[in-house]
Amino acid sequence: MTYIAPSLLASDFANLQRDIEMINSSEADWFHVDIMDGIFVPNISFGMPVVEAIKRHAKKPLDVHLMIVEPERYIDTFFKLGASVISVHVEACPHLHRIIHYIKSLGIKAGVALNPHSSIDSIRDILPDVDVVNLMSVNPGFGGQKFIPRTLHKISTLKAIIKQEHLATLIEIDGGVSLANYEEIIAAGADVLVAGNCVFGAEDPIMTIREMKFQQNFF
């Protein structure tokens, strides 16, 4: 099964409720919510009041991606705001094991994200404890970037490790996912596709989501 997680970073902020309701009516699985602090990445995105508003209207789980320094300070906050998945960056966490186990203790999914330069080896020892690995396929901070082809190799490498160790860890791909490349991304072993401009910039977002989820061309 392929999970589709439309990224609200690419939505129309002036019509956020409309776009959330559109995703509610689609066959998407999660809402991907990027939290940026302007320090870990060179951009600022949603604050807590916006996430609270998103949760009021969202009928699907919130997949919260913390692209921030000291993410451990905000785990409780985003849990209380309704996150079903919280992912932190390996590059921002000197005590990753502690943070992953704390997220899991809250009864939600714990994820770890890797920037394009980070090796799979950096999470090898924590992998059995992780529910989701978010492989960044662009440099984080801005939407609309092109997919980094090398990510396909990272996906297949990580998938082989997950199978070898008989884990249930999901591989999430975040950045540059499009109708032109989603099939090869899934073929490499991805389980979750974060789709931003691909969905919200589409003429028919509902059908775009359906095509990616079921790998069939409905157009």
**164: helix, strand or coil:** helix
Q: Is 150 within a domain?
A: yes
Q: 34 an active-site residue?
A: yes
Q: What is residue 144's predicted lDDT score, i.e. its pLDDT?
A: 67
Reported as a single tens digit per residue, the pLDDT across 171-191 is 999 999 999 999 999 999 999
Q: Is 35 within a domain?
A: yes
Residue 129 has pLDDT above 60, yes or no: yes
207 CB burial (10 A radius; 0-12, 13-18, 19+): middle
Average pLDDT (90-117) is 97
Q: What is residue 140's predicted lDDT score, i.e. its pLDDT?
A: 77
Q: What is residue 42's predicted lDDT score, i.e. its pLDDT?
A: 83
Of 19, 29, 34, 37, which one is the catalytic site residue?
34
| Average pLDDT value for the chain | 94
pTM of the model: 0.95
Q: What is the CATH number of the domain that holds 204?
A: 3.20.20.70
Contacts of 170 (CB under 8 A, 6+ apart): 3, 131, 132, 133, 191, 192
Q: Is 194 within a domain?
A: yes
Q: Which of 36-45, 64-73, 195-204 has the lowest mean pLDDT?
A: 36-45
Handedness of CA 193, 71, 40, 152 (dihedral sign): negative
Q: Is 139 within a domain?
A: yes
> Buried b / exposed e across 177-191, counting CB within 10 Å, b at 16+?
bbeebbeebbebbbb
Residue 142 has pLDDT above 80, yes or no: no
Q: Which domain holds residue 17?
A: 3-214
Q: Is 219 within a domain?
A: no
Average pLDDT (99-115) is 98
Q: What is residue 168's predicted lDDT score, i.e. its pLDDT?
A: 97
Q: Is 170 within a domain?
A: yes
Q: 174 an active-site residue?
A: yes
Q: Please give the structure tokens belonging to residue 204.
A: 């028919």
Q: What is residue 132's predicted lDDT score, i.e. its pLDDT?
A: 98
- Tell me how many domains the chain contains: 1
3-class SS letters over 4-52:
EEEEHHHCCHHHHHHHHHHHHCCCCCCEEEEEEECCCCCCECCCHHHHH
Reported as a single tens digit per residue, the pLDDT across 53-70 is 999 999 999 999 999 999
Phi and psi torsions of 55, nearest 5°:
-60, -35
Of 19, 29, 63, 174, which one is the catalytic site residue?
174
**Cβ-based neighbour number of residue 10 at 10 Å:** 19
Q: Is 77 within a domain?
A: yes
Q: Is 164 within a domain?
A: yes
Beta-bridge partner residues of 134: 113, 172
Largest Cα–Cα distance in the chain?
Answer: 47
